Structure 1
Amino acid sequence: MATTTETLEAAGLARPTLPLPQWEFVAMMAAMMALNALAIDTMLPALHDIATSYSLQSENDQQLVIFAYVAGFGAPQLVFGPVSDSYGRKKVVLGCIVAYTLAGFACMAATSFSMLLALRFLQGIAASGIRVIAVSVVRDLMGGRAMARIMSLVMTVFMVVPILAPALGEGVMVFAPWPWTFGVLGVAGILMFFWVLVRLPETLATDDRPALNFRSSFRAYWQVVTTRVTFGYMCASGVIFGALFSYVASSEQVFRDVFDKEDTFVWWFAGIAGALSIGNFMNSRVVERLGMRRVSHSVLLGFLVLASVNTLLMATMGEKLIIFYPLFALTFACFGLIGANFSALAMEPLGKIAGTGSAAYGFMTTTVASFFGWMVASRFNGSIVPILEGYIGLGLACLIIVFFTERGRLFGSRDDP
């Protein structure tokens, strides 16, 4: 019996029909998600100047500029999901971009450090809505392997921002005072607003929108929690992405205290981010042929092997950068072949409540993952070994969750939940 186009689309194997050229669609979704990375990384070079400008008593207080934003970014995703499911993607994301833009410009005029933190918190809330809707738009238009391929391409482009954003902030401060590191966010928001307004159509049909009330929202989240594949891969992602957060939190200490590379830290950091980007691109090339489960399960085992070998070598041969760095870069590249596939597997069964699913997935991979990341990063004691041991623990926990989610059937090429 011949395979129909409808069957292929249901399995995520047919090429989706996009409202924009694929390159523009990928660039737009990456840019929407990159507003978050831009808001975190651009002002890193300005933190010391911010502390001086507001006469902060403790140098560590400057870190609150980042944490206030992250605090706003986490839980509000759980609200934006149902809202976008009920009112559509475009209107909600445009409203969030406006709020993000205004908050960026308002940060430039903050007259006190408390006001700056409050504005950063509000900007984090706005960015959480943008991130939720970017993933929801992709799910509205495709599913299965096609979604995993597009999300891999999106993440490949997205990863350019964490590499370049600190240099952008440094460059801005050459020509303008530190408040303009926030002004850049406002400018980026304006450009994003008009791009979405002019080029992106609404992707959620009116007939597919549930009413917005507590009962319908609770029902949608209950469906997320009780859908085995969705909840299982969300939990697995929340655990494994803890390794990502632990690296971000401890990377400067590792390269400074362990390997004495403080002056060139930005380049070592960029190399790891580049490895992750390459992993995402590789996934976009192979996932439609091999399937999300086969790729992600195999690479998860590879992650465990690489982390274990690196731990053993660091503990027995001494902490040598020439050994650590290549193995760690390969370990990080694994995220590129795990993240997009886990996301697609979690989102696949949700259909009309993709916004709710995207919100729950975002909460797991930010708020929950950051908790696990903190648990691992806080074990740093001047040696890289405790961090790598944490990677092994998170990898094993993730593998156990996936094993139970799939009822013991790993490496399957089937991609129907």
Structure 2
Amino acid sequence: MVNTEVQHVVDVNADAPIEVTGEVPKHYPMGFAEFVVVIAAIMALNPLAMDMMLPALPNIASSFHIDAANRLQMVLSSFMIGFGVGQFLIGPLSDSFGRRPVLLGGMVLYAIASVLAIAAPSFEMLLLARALEGLGTSATRVIATSIVRDCYAGRRMASVVSLAMMVFIAVPVVAPSFGQAVMLMVHWRGIFAVLMAYGIVALLWSLFRLPETLPASERKAFAIPQVLDAYRQTLTNRQTLGYALAAGGVQGALFGFVFCSQQVFTGIYQLGPYFPLAFAAIAVGVAVAGFLNARLVGRIGMRVMSHSALVGFVVVAAIMYVAAKLQILPLPLFMALAALMMFSFGLMIANFTALAMEPQGHIAGTASSLYGSITTLLGIGIGAVIGQDYNGTLVPFATGFLLCTLATLAVVAITEKGRLFRPHHHPIA
């Protein structure tokens, strides 16, 4: 493998265009297109394992004799808890031992957990398998972000993340329908066989094509004091912490929607087996947002894009809350508002991630790890509260959605010291 590294010329303006020079990119022998696709493919392990299970929840309840509908949400939340907790160590490990061994190890764990889920004799064992699956995908998500940060910075990084997200976010659009199709042919456990097969394909692709992007000269010894110091640097950086909390807030709204979506569409709107189609129609908004962001962020800037989307997020949440309270939320209106919610989320999340990671190039793995843990666990905590409050109406979700958006807007305003919608002339320290 050629070891020539990309040299980043980073402007002091974190939101300025980034020029990248050098003979060979760090992701050689991959070209740019293959690099984006493989990053999206390994990132997609997480949403695929999450969303393919949605149509299977009633079947799982029947198999394990689960009477409480809200308890079934644990099939989703246990996966995300494993995902959130696992990220604490993934980053420091990859900063010490390189990206490849930790990434490949996570994929192996994911495949083993899928086998355990296929054979799970009880609901509790299934939840354990789901937590282990989440733990395995924590490596794929954290290291994918770290690899992108190894190779790119600034708006170029945001563009790469957006292109990957466009593929990555397309997964929730098709995953529930794919899960429904699998169950038409086999038992719900067949979904885990599909997940295992996909994980093995991604593992082999990464094994043979994805190079190590963290040179030995840039690795850090794995020592608790150094890890804690890297955590301190991450948590004391205003921009990183602020956008991590903001991303956690918007993910809380999204998780709340996902956790109770099956109950909403089949219980309130009586869609039955057509639920995956409705979910897919709504999720298209995120994919469209990813495409637009990738095309526009280089010209408009991360802050303008994400702050405008956040204001739109607040407006959508307010409309949904009023409509839910007045009990005038028919399916077409709910679908439109939910699609706008997803569209706004898609514009925010890639830019929030890029803004949070921008000051952390020297500790990208650890920073990405802590960022992922903060956003995921915060989102899971908020989403679980919203999901468990489901009472057969949309009022609990609409209320939680509005509170999340208002809190996120406040966090971003504080982070930017009130200067929204415009690039900063210097990094935030």
Question: What TM-score results when the alignment is normalised by the length of structure 1?
Answer: 0.90
- Structure 1 counterpart of 2:9, which letter? E
Q: Is the alpha carbon distance of 1:162 and 1:410 closer, same or farther for their aligned partners in structure 2, counting shifts above 3 Å?
A: same
Instruction: Tell me how far apart the structure 2 counterparts of residues 5 and 211 of structure 1 sit (CA, whole Å).
Output: 24
1:5, distance to aligned residue in structure 2 (A): 7.8
- Structure 2 counterpart of 1:13, which letter? I
- Structure 2 counterpart of 1:285, which letter? R
Instruction: Tell me how far apart the structure 1 counterparts of residues 336 and 62 of structure 2 sit (CA, whole Å).
Output: 38
Decide whether the 8 Å contact of 1:252 with 1:262 is kept in 2: no
- Report the equivalent of 2:34: 24
1:123, distance to aligned residue in structure 2 (A): 2.3
1:90-140, Cα deviation, whole Å (9 max, x unpaired): 111011111211222233334554444333322221111121111111111
2:357 pairs, out of 341, 347, 355, with: 347
1:232 matches 2:242: yes
2:131 pairs, out of 114, 121, 130, with: 121
Structure 1, 147-156 or 34-43: larger mean CA deviation: 34-43
1:319 matches 2:329: yes
Structure 1, 88-97 or 328-337: larger mean CA deviation: 328-337
Tell me the secondary structure at the aligned position of residue 85 of structure 2: coil
Summarize the alignment of residues 68-107 of structure 1 with structure 2, pairs less than 5 Å apart. Answer: 68-107=78-117
2:176 pairs, out of 166, 170, 188, with: 166
1:6 pairs, out of 1, 6, 9, with: 9
1:234, distance to aligned residue in structure 2 (A): 0.5
Instruction: Tell me how far apart the structure 1 counterparts of residues 255 and 8 of structure 2 sit (CA, whole Å).
Output: 41
Q: Is the alpha carbon distance of 1:77 and 1:415 closer, same or farther for their aligned partners in structure 2, counting shifts above 3 Å?
A: farther
1:301, distance to aligned residue in structure 2 (A): 1.1
Q: Is the alpha carbon distance of 1:201 and 1:328 closer, same or farther for their aligned partners in structure 2, counting shifts above 3 Å?
A: same
Decide whether the 8 Å contact of 1:12 with 1:147 is kept in 2: no
1:404, distance to aligned residue in structure 2 (A): 1.3
- Report the equivalent of 2:383: 373
- Structure 2 counterpart of 1:134, which letter? A
Q: Is the alpha carbon distance of 1:314 and 1:75 closer, same or farther for their aligned partners in structure 2, counting shifts above 3 Å?
A: closer
Q: Is the alpha carbon distance of 1:188 and 1:404 closer, same or farther for their aligned partners in structure 2, counting shifts above 3 Å?
A: same
1:37 matches 2:42: no
Could you list the runs of 5+ residues in structure 1 that have no partner in the other structure?
A: none
Instruction: Tell me how far apart the structure 1 counterparts of residues 327 and 78 of structure 2 sit (CA, whole Å).
Output: 41
Give the paired residue count.
413
- Structure 2 counterpart of 1:241, which letter? Q
2:407 pairs, out of 367, 390, 397, with: 397
1:278, distance to aligned residue in structure 2 (A): 0.7
1:50, distance to aligned residue in structure 2 (A): 4.4
Structure 1, 8-17 or 254-263: larger mean CA deviation: 8-17
Q: Is the alpha carbon distance of 1:343 and 1:416 closer, same or farther for their aligned partners in structure 2, counting shifts above 3 Å?
A: farther
Summarize the alignment of residues 251-400 of structure 1 with structure 2, pairs less than 5 Å apart. Answer: 251-316=261-326, 318-400=328-410
1:141-187, Cα deviation, whole Å (9 max, x unpaired): 11111111111111111122222223333333444444332122221
- Aligned-residue sequence identity (percent) comes to 43
Q: Is the alpha carbon distance of 1:32 and 1:5 closer, same or farther for their aligned partners in structure 2, counting shifts above 3 Å?
A: closer
Structure 1, 174-183 or 58-67: larger mean CA deviation: 58-67
1:355-399, Cα deviation, whole Å (9 max, x unpaired): 111111211221111111233344444433443232222111111
Instruction: Tell me how far apart the structure 1 counterparts of residues 264 and 125 of structure 2 sit (CA, whole Å).
Output: 33
- Report the equivalent of 2:161: 151
CA-based RMSD of the aligned residues comes to 2.5
Instruction: Tell me how far apart the structure 1 counterparts of residues 61 and 319 of structure 2 sit (CA, whole Å).
Output: 41
1:209, distance to aligned residue in structure 2 (A): 1.1
Q: Is the alpha carbon distance of 1:81 and 1:288 closer, same or farther for their aligned partners in structure 2, counting shifts above 3 Å?
A: same
Q: Is the alpha carbon distance of 1:109 and 1:304 closer, same or farther for their aligned partners in structure 2, counting shifts above 3 Å?
A: closer
Decide whether the 8 Å contact of 1:96 with 1:129 is kept in 2: yes
Instruction: Tell me how far apart the structure 2 counterparts of residues 377 and 15 of structure 1 sit (CA, whole Å).
Output: 44
Q: Is the alpha carbon distance of 1:268 and 1:210 closer, same or farther for their aligned partners in structure 2, counting shifts above 3 Å?
A: same
1:261, distance to aligned residue in structure 2 (A): 3.1
Instruction: Tell me how far apart the structure 1 counterparts of residues 390 and 229 of structure 2 sit (CA, whole Å).
Output: 42
1:217 matches 2:219: no
Q: Is the alpha carbon distance of 1:100 and 1:315 closer, same or farther for their aligned partners in structure 2, counting shifts above 3 Å?
A: closer
- Structure 1 counterpart of 2:347, which letter? L
1:206-238, Cα deviation, whole Å (9 max, x unpaired): 111111010010000000001111111111111
1:87, distance to aligned residue in structure 2 (A): 0.6
Tell me the secondary structure at the aligned position of residue 74 of structure 1: helix
Q: Is the alpha carbon distance of 1:184 and 1:275 closer, same or farther for their aligned partners in structure 2, counting shifts above 3 Å?
A: same
Could you list the runs of 5+ residues in structure 2 that have no partner in the other structure?
A: 1-6
